Amino acid sequence: MYQGIKRLTHNFRSKQLRTVVRGAFWFFFLSVLVGFCIAIYFRFSQDRSTLLGQWFLNAFLTLLVTKLVFLLVLLAEDLYRVGVTVFRFFARSFSQTAEDQPVKLLPPRRKFMSQLGLLFASIPFGAFLYGVTKGKYAFTLHRHTLYFDDLPEAFEGFTITQLSDIHSGSFDDAEAVQRGIDLAKAQQSDLYVFTGDLVNDLATEIEPWIPRFAQLKAPYGQFSILGNHDYGLYHDWDSDAVREANLERLKQHHRQMDYRLLLNEHVTIEKAGEQLALIGVENWGKGFIQQGDLDKALEGVAPGAFKILLSHDPSHFEEIVKHHPRQVHLTLSGHTHGMQFGVETPLFKWSPAQYRYANWAGLAQENNRQLYVNRGFGFIGFTGRVGIWPEVTVLELRKRRA
């Protein structure tokens, strides 16, 4: 990166200005690096995150991605320079006049390529700047119609609004959060479900937001499950008893919001004399806590019942649900956040999440079972979203006709 800065400032008439710009680059870079290290220390050693520390985390990630783009352009130029150098070396070796006419083997860097790198790097820089200021609250509605062969007739056109991964401990703008809640309310769905991670660690994080999320009501009820963060596993507790008390307090907050928390159990949703089974399991994730028990949750469910499963981590679907002898028609998950960073277009979808999760956002279908992965309502770690916007999901159930 510094080599590119040097080339960009090479033609400055003022030597003092060159020195100031190059010195400013190192000062800024080292300041962010030191701040990032301090932020990591306080987050993991002192078990707390400060606003300043969060700013340094955001700045580090923003500059990391921005510099990588800049460096890819310089790398392309360097490959060209290496190619030219190799060609000149062999050409000189076979030339009879090589000693009389010496040739400079390595061509110099071109200012144009550094300018091009700066231009391309400005794109992710602007995107990250938007992501940490506006993008994290750019709530987006995803509406899908799902078709099933054996959907009970009474549930034709039945709608479900899904939220996931609220991470209330990260919120810093009450009005923006309310916009997302209002978007969910406006859908007027038959059923509301929340698929885990109400908090980052502490039950107290949701308390200022309880009246707002309690606004979400549906004719057939509000149901929720726990996510991996809800267990408080990433916080340094004084004892296991204190951690368990925190979890019990969080469960009470679900009741305060009038959410029926499903803990490896099911409820029956009835409409016009017909039924479907809504099943909720505790967190089960590959590489995460595995307290979800699908077999226990299915106890008492009629073999031919239409089943909808709430399971926080989509790896549960990949590892267990899609192979289970009892068909679960639809699984609703969250957890991945789409890594809060990526690109989604009608023709192309990419996120670093795809290297960890087979299904990281949107719809998937396998073994005649469907999965929907919500991109998350909130954010954590990186307090922003770039390309993967916070989501409100509306799913409409339809019977597949011949």
- Count, residues in the chain: 402
The amino acid that residue 21 corresponds to is V
Per-residue confidence (pLDDT) for residue 84, from 0 to 100: 85
Per-residue confidence (pLDDT) for residue 281, from 0 to 100: 98
- Domain around 204: 135-399
Q: Of 132, 153, 173, which closes a domain?
A: 132
Query: Do residues 111 and 173 both lie within one domain?
Result: no
Query: Do residues 237 and 350 both lie within one domain?
Result: yes
Q: Of 78, 98, 132, which closes a domain?
A: 132
pLDDT tens digits for 87-137? 888 877 776 555 555 556 777 778 888 889 889 999 999 999 999 999 999
Say if CB 259 and CB 217 are below 8 A apart. no
How many folded domains does the chain comprise?
2
Query: Do residues 102 and 247 both lie within one domain?
Result: no
Query: Do residues 233 and 315 both lie within one domain?
Result: yes
DSSP codes, 52-106: HHHHHHHHHHHHHHHHHHHHHHHHHHHHHHHHHHHHHHHHHHT-TTTTTS---SS
Calculate the CA 297 to chain-centre distance.
Answer: 28
Query: Do residues 33 and 149 both lie within one domain?
Result: no
Query: Do residues 261 and 120 both lie within one domain?
Result: no
pLDDT tens digits for 292-344? 999 999 999 998 999 999 999 999 999 999 999 999 999 999 999 999 999 99
Nearest residue to 145 (alpha-carbon basis) of 332, 371, 366, 394: 394
Per-residue confidence (pLDDT) for residue 50, from 0 to 100: 67
Say if CB 84 and CB 107 are below 8 A apart. yes
Q: At what angle do helices 15-44 and 51-93 cross, to 10 degrees?
A: 130
Q: Of 76, 97, 132, which closes a domain?
A: 132
Query: Do residues 253 and 339 both lie within one domain?
Result: yes
Query: Do residues 155 and 53 both lie within one domain?
Result: no
Rg (C-alpha) for the chain, rounded Å, is: 27
Q: At what angle do helices 111-133 and 51-93 cross, to 10 degrees?
A: 160
Per-residue confidence (pLDDT) for residue 99, from 0 to 100: 55
Phi-psi region of 264 (alpha: psi -120 to 50; beta: other; left: phi over 0): left
Query: Do residues 26 and 151 both lie within one domain?
Result: no
Say if CB 1 and CB 28 are below 8 A apart. no
Per-residue confidence (pLDDT) for residue 263, from 0 to 100: 98
Query: Do residues 48 and 155 both lie within one domain?
Result: no
Query: Do residues 119 and 191 both lie within one domain?
Result: no
* Ranges of residues in the chain whose predicted pLDDT is under 70: 44-51, 95-104
Domain harbouring 270, CATH code: 3.60.21
Query: Do residues 110 and 211 both lie within one domain?
Result: no
275 three-state secondary structure: strand
Per-residue confidence (pLDDT) for residue 96, from 0 to 100: 58
